[in-house]
Amino acid sequence: MISCEQFRDLAPSALYHELTGSDLDQFEEHRRTCSGCSALYDGMASTVTFMNRRRVDEPGDAYWSGYADRVMDGIRKTGPARKVIFLPLPQRIPRWAYGIAALLLIAAGIYLGRSWFAPGNSVGNQAASLQTNREAPDSVAAMVASYLDRSKNILLGVVNGEPDAYSPELLASQQRASRELLDRGVVIKAALNRPDQQQLRQLIQSLEVILLQLANIDIRPGVPMVELVKDGISKNSILLRINMQEMKNNNHPVRKTGTYHSSSRRVPL
Amino acid sequence: MVEEATLVHRARNGDPDAFRELVERSMKFVYRLAYDLTGNRQDAEDLSQEVFLKAHRSLPSFRGTSKWTTWLYRITVNAGIDARKMKKHIVTEYDDDSMAGGSGQSRPNAPDRIADAAMIQAKIEHALSGLSPNERSVFVLRHYHDLPLRQIAEILDVAEGTVKSHLFRAIQRLQKDLAMFRKEYGLEEA
């Protein structure tokens, strides 16, 4: 006979008639003999039945007749879907090649880290020049907008991608873009030096962590590395924060930044 | 009728008519799920349209190993969770007073005054809004969309056991929140 804990594990499946065979028999047997579990189950069953009283406010036919047109119009306004460019790679890549690629990535990471953080480095100088250049707030705003937009597209691809269909080609494409954005992030962060830009700086820092993870992962059977990245995106509410930032920017597009544009702003449909 | 897989293939290759056909085939279930996740028509309309824009944008990453509908379910759930977080954030930041009213919905009154269908509806929506995003997603997918637990696990990209525990907790919470109907409608105490 199953325990009360096992009964609770099976209860959701039983409620929706997904239990069969011996699981169902054991469940019913426990229910007959344990008054506490029986009451628990009856309560859940009556709650679920009560939830059928809910009604959905459905739009009328007029709404549906123009629906697809409005969606297609919105798509035209936001631009075409971004195509992922696949590089011609051999059909079968040997396992050792992944190992070498991982080593190269680590070496590149060390090299880039030393280049960025060493005093007098070129990226640092570039950032410093942006920081001191008070004539170019528009270019900073445009860089931020482009950075957030591209990051969002990559992260959407990760979040909405199918777990089983993550090909080396797709990952390679996302990793190239991530590395490029990591480079840009350093420059942008250095240029965001006002107190009111702290939130944006923090967002870019969070994005850097995710992009760095994405840039360095490897696809191995049974190891859901991409899931770790997805988890990071979800836990840090990255997409939400990008949306919030874009909303904030869209509220003051011209006054503050002059030439600010974001292709991912909400399209009225 | 053209097969869904064919339409998806054509849409991925930039055929707008194919994508339009996919929209027409799936707009009602996407709206319905959006409504179940948001609890009101205006948000559901906005969310469902946003889902198709996101789907179009993410088409290059759709490899066709899962069904188009499963993929759309996933996008809708993710968008619903994001929208809910954003709404909560905005309400917290700009309109603290409105929180007292439960996101603008009717506040629960004494049990004996809640008798008509509209009030029951409001109370059910209020109870649903008290669930966590994951609990709500699992509950509506299982209860209102009749999806098996295994498919829900696939959509949410989590283990089936996780789906079961979310569902268990969701029902327990609903039961507690709807306890005022215990006598009238035979709900047992959680």
* Single-letter amino acid code for the residue at B21: E
The pLDDT value recorded for residue A146 is 86
The pLDDT value recorded for residue A172 is 80
- Report the percent of chain A where pLDDT is more than 70: 74
The pLDDT value recorded for residue B143 is 96
The pLDDT value recorded for residue A259 is 33
- pLDDT single digits (tens) A127-143: 444 444 444 566 778 88
Mutate to test the interface with B, among A35, A54, A214 (most CBs of B within 10 A): A54
Residue holding tokens 């198709």?
Answer: B52
Structure-block tokens of residue A133: 């250049």
Is B121's CB within 8 Å of A53's CB? yes
pLDDT above 60: residue A44 = yes
* Single-letter amino acid code for the residue at B134: N
Q: How confident is the model at residue A81 (pLDDT cuts 50, 70, 90)?
A: low
Q: Which residues of B touch A15 (CB under 8 A)?
A: 171
The whole-chain average pLDDT of chain A stands at 76
Most confident segment among A185-194, A223-232, A241-250, B139-148: B139-148
| Closest B-chain CA to A226 | B157
Of residues A219, A154, A220, A140, the one with CA closest to residue A182: A154
The pLDDT value recorded for residue A79 is 64
The whole-chain average pLDDT of chain B stands at 82
Mutate to test the interface with A, among B56, B61, B114, B123 (most CBs of A within 10 A): B61
pLDDT above 90: residue A240 = no
**Listed range (A22-31, A121-130, A171-180, B97-106) with the worst mean pLDDT:** B97-106
The pLDDT value recorded for residue B182 is 67
* Single-letter amino acid code for the residue at A247: M
Q: Note every long-range contact of B37-43, with CB atoms under 8 Å and residues 24 or more positions apart, other chains counting.
A: B37/B76, B37/B77, B37/B80, B37/B81, B37/B83, B37/B84, B37/B136, B37/B137, B37/B140, B38/B80, B38/B83, B38/B84, B39/B105, B39/B125, B39/B128, B39/B129, B40/A57, B40/B125, B41/A57, B41/A59, B43/B83, B43/B87
Is B157's CB within 8 Å of A44's CB? no
